[in-house]
Structures are given as structure tokens and as C-alpha cells.
Amino acid sequence: MTLQLFIPGLLWPVASLLGPASGLALDGLAALLGRGRRHVGEFEPGDRQLARLFGLEAAPLPLAALRRLGEADAPAQEPGVHWLCADPVNLSFAREHLLLQAFPEGELDSAESAALIAALNEVFADLGRFEACAPNRWYLRLNAPTEVALYPLDDVIGRPIKHFLPEGADARLWQRTMNEAQIVLHNHAISRAREDGGRRPANSLWLWGAGTLTLPLRPPAAAVQARDPLGVGLARAAGVPVRAPDLAAALAQDTLVVLDALQKPAQQLDLDAWRRGLEALERDWFAPLADAAQRGRIDTLRILAPGDRGTLTLELRRSERWKFWRKPHSFEVLLKSVAPAPMTAPEAPPQSQQPQPPMAPPHDR
């Protein structure tokens, strides 16, 4: 039996003198790290690594179509339909930079989301139709295909958006669309009410994930366990049974498990939430798996943990449980050994094709 764990956010993204995992009892994780063969490789986006497990190597990845397929109300697959993720975001100035922040679950409610979506559909009917599957997960079903390279939202959160503008043949169309959507959302009564109440307004969209899905994908295992819509969508596209993560079921057959509880805390540098999530993973997964591996219940355990500072890969085979000389390896020590994330911006398009940056959030005069 082969068990694969995909754990984005396991590697805390910031190097610091005080270790982010210091003081946590992580004996199960330490045992796995010590017994298995581990390696920390170069940075690669997590969604690309997850898609590769399903045999999807196309660039750009049709992430919007895949995520839409993973929603509770996923539509029947229609050949040639193109989707964009059109997630609501908040833009604000920090010194001279315009920074983007996403909305976590619960910060926008369904009524606010529905009203904002209705306003967008009144203005952009020529492009397609907006819809919301959750207050913080919006989509645009396009009337026609588009040729554009767009950066995933997770790559942009908390960073100057001037480095992440659309590229490609239709770059100007989507830059203009983002600017116009920003005006619509900023001027909406919902946004004004949120600002008056001291809450962040959804004053812009982030468009990403363009493409159409070609079926079928390659099953990575007999079963997939995931909660996030992208993981669920990939499983559905591959025709694999998918359910929420459950250790007992995962140990019953070859399974890929997507454990994403650490991803948002790592992106938002919420250390307290990240430490709580890590303790939960230790209790629910790492400690029981270390015991199951020692008892010979797992033929192969693979862990893939992408992060901003690189990707941790770990493989533990049943035969290695007898190698008693392999001692536990502290996760805190591993984090300290990982180089800090490189502070480099993505390469910009040629100057002649560089679209204008999006306008700053409008201000009342």
C-alpha cells in the first residue's frame, strides 16, 4: 500500500532566529523525517506540483476549470468551455506599493457576494458570466477563449501587484477589465457600507487560471482525499473517488491525501494558526503514520510539501523500518537548514508589451 501526502505550507516561509516550530512536540514527524529519505529542492508552485501528480503538465494549467469542477455545484463538463477564477480581493497602499490581500472564509458573506456579482454581470455581459460558489471564490465563464498568462492568486497575496500583471496576446483586454471591475466594486453600496463599518471592502478582482480542461487526467492513486476545490476537481477529472481526509480510509488502499490546513496560515504569516495546524497534523497524521510505518502497515509513504522556501520531499519504505541507526530528525532543525525564500520578482514582459498597472483604489474627492 502506497500513501502520498501533499502538504502545502508545511515549510514556514520565513527564516527567523526563533524557530517557528520551537517548543512543539512533533515526535511523529521527527521519526518520519529521520527514518525516510528526505530532500529539500528548489521552489516550484504547489498547484503545478499537485497537477503533475495527475499527469497534467500543460502550461498554463487550466486551474479555474479544475477548481470549478471541484465545487459542490460543479456543472457537467462541456468541451471547449473556458473559465477564469475571478476572486474578490482588497487592494491597498503600503508606502509606494499597491498590495493585494485575499478574503479568508467568513469575511465576506453570501448576500454581499451575490450583490457584487450581480453588478459585475450587468457591466461585463460581453465577456461572460460571473458566478460565486463561495463568498470568496468567484468565477467567470467566458463567452470565448482567451490568450493570456495570469498569475495565480496565491502567488500575489501580500506582494506588489505591479510584478504580476497579465501577459500574452489579450493582456490589455484583461488589464482593462480589472481596472473597470475595480471601479464597479469600489463604487458599490456594499463596499461603501463595509468601509463605513471599518471593514475591508472587496474593491477589486484577481483574474487567474485561464483555460479549458481536457479529460481525462491520470489517476495518481486508487483514491484521493481532499477538501479544497482544486484537489477535488483534479480527482473528479481523473475519475477517481474523492472524500475528505480520513486516516483509517487512507490506510486501506493506495491513496493521495491533500492536507492544506497550513497553506493559508503560511501565506498570511499567521504563526499562531500555523502552529495550531501543525500540532493537529502531528496528532491526526504524523504520529499515527510513524507508528503504522514501524508496524509495517505501509509499503511506501511519500510526503510532498511545497512552500516559498523550496519543496520538501520525503520517502519512507517498509524495508527501512529495520534501520535502527536512523535517528529522529527534528523538524525545527530542518526548517533552520532551509534557505530563505529568494526576494526576486518574476521577469516582466518586454517594455513594448507591458500593460499599464491597475489604477489605485479610487478616492472620493
Q: What is the DSSP letter of 87?
A: E
Asked if 36 contacts 315 with a C-beta cutoff of 8 angstroms, the reply is yes
Per-residue pLDDT of the chain (365 residues; tens, 9 = 90+): 999 999 999 999 987 767 899 999 999 999 999 999 999 999 999 999 999 999 998 778 999 999 999 999 887 767 688 999 999 999 988 777 888 999 988 999 999 999 999 999 999 999 999 999 999 999 999 999 999 999 999 889 888 888 899 999 999 999 999 999 999 999 999 999 999 999 999 999 999 999 888 878 999 999 999 999 999 999 999 999 999 999 999 999 999 999 999 999 998 889 999 999 999 999 999 999 999 999 999 999 999 999 988 999 999 998 876 666 678 999 999 998 886 655 454 444 443 344 444 555 555 43
Full-model pTM = 0.89
Domain boundaries defined on the chain: 2-57+215-329, 63-212
Q: Amino acid identity, residue 33?
A: L
Residues 9 and 261: their CA atoms lie apart, in Å, by 8
> CB atoms < 10 A from the CB of 281, how many?
20
Residues 254 and 222: their CA atoms lie apart, in Å, by 5
Cis-peptide, bond into residue 13, ω within 30° of zero: no
C-alpha cell at 170: 489579450
C-alpha cell at 330: 527534528
Residues 159 and 94: their CA atoms lie apart, in Å, by 10
Architecture of the structural domain at 2-57+215-329: 3-Layer(aba) Sandwich (3.40)
201: left (phi over 0), alpha (psi -120 to 50) or beta: beta
C-alpha cell at 110: 453570501
> CB atoms < 10 A from the CB of 279, how many?
14
Collapsing DSSP to helix, strand or coil, 84 comes out as strand
Q: What is the DSSP letter of 333?
A: H
